[in-house]
Amino acid sequence: MVSLKVISILSAFFTAFPLAASAPAEGRTHNGKTTAARPNLSPYPLTTGKKFPTSPRRTKTCFIDALGSGRDDGPQILAAAHKCNNGGTLAFLDDLYTIGTPLDLTFLKHVDFDIQGTIRFTDDIDFWIRNQFEYYYQNISSFWQIGGTDVNLFGSGKGVIDGNGQKWYDAFDTNKLNTTFRRPLLLVFDGIKGGQMSGITMRNSPNWNTLIANSSDMIFHDMHVEAKSTSNIQAKNTDGWDTYANKPMKTLDRSDNIIIQNSVINNGDDCVSLRGNSTNILIQSLACNGSHGISVGSLGQYYQNQDIVENVYVFNITMTNASDGARIKAWPGVFGEAMPGWVGGGGTGYVNNVTYDTMLLNNVDYAIEITQCYGQKNLTACNERPSTLEIKNVYFHGFYGVASKKYDPQVGSMICSSPEVCHDIHAYNINVLAPSGKAPYYTCFNMDESLLGVKCQPWKG
């Protein structure tokens, strides 16, 4: 991450003493419940072509007994992480764990999390506003952060991580122009080298669900992401996954070789968002509902900072009730105000070798959207200052289904600010219909229409 600042550090873990057992983790019984075997995950049906590091069998187990009655289990979880580091499993076998203090678990090595119950964060907004892990990038923060080598979380279809977000959704509606009102991300992986996460439900995050930062060789499988408000205030910015790294110059420093597969996402923002310095990413077999699509970006937000997204394959996606199917979004080429309290633009870098292959759309506003004016309302002024972030070698194919009524009969938008920095974009075998039955079309600007197997109409500004 960029300029990570820890506001609060737990020092009370020495007061808790979880039971540690020196034996293989799976099949051990504690308080009438049995630990699960770690799933052996692999990419399917496609792969990035890159190998994943081996993960040795764990030899010790720390059973974490929930304190109950709303008491904070954070300190004993931190104690267990230290006790079972270097080859152990943290066993969450009770029904409900409460976390009321931030958890810094960025020191892990060869550790598994066997989560069979619910881990729920308190909704004490006043406390969390003062006690979060803060990151420079887009003013985000988090409840907890995990980093290290060979770290695996699995829920066996029963585990839940609950952000308790309803109070945050309601409060954000009245604080959205207050830049000090930070809504925590549910989980941040920062600096993971080899890891897996599977069989877990991520529920009601106040903000993005999972950020994968400066990490490599990770698989996410059989995940369920749920974010739904019970009031008339919508759950905002509840991305499923975001990938990012703050060190673009060396491949080893990027978020690299990340696979997100075979999962269900019901949320209110990007199903997956590939942000700056994400390479060799495979996204396959997802069912996304209510989202903003599978996005590349936003990119180029920070002046003269370099963002790279390269070698991405998106395969076999079902997209329902969404604003977009496939989306690429970059900021304009100059630094300018985007909205009150938020400015952006003028970043550099490139998007290269990105493929969207096979996507079923139902009630989606735009099947495909490309913009290099993200964050700007005055598109004419934006396009007078072309993006300096290059978009090239992009392929869309195998799209079918029916768009929403919002722009009927328009079903997509591909607008580049300059053909010099936005080129070699291909679209073919695209069969997305307008609900009215009229001939569907795409708004196109600065595109090589000979590479587009869709009907284009000129952009009018």
Q: Which residues are catalytic?
A: 269, 292
List, in order, residues 6 or more apart from 427 with CB less than 8 Å away: 368, 395, 396, 397, 414, 451, 452, 453, 454
CA–CA gap between residue 301 and residue 68 (Å, rounded): 44
**Strand pairing class (210-213; 216-221):** unpaired
Separation CA 333–CA 356 (nearest Å): 26
Cβ contacts of 367 within 8 Å, gap of 6 or more: 324, 325, 326, 359, 361, 399, 401, 403, 411, 412, 430, 432
Closest by alpha carbon to 428, among 368, 341, 384? 368
Distance of CA 17 to the CA centre of its chain: 34
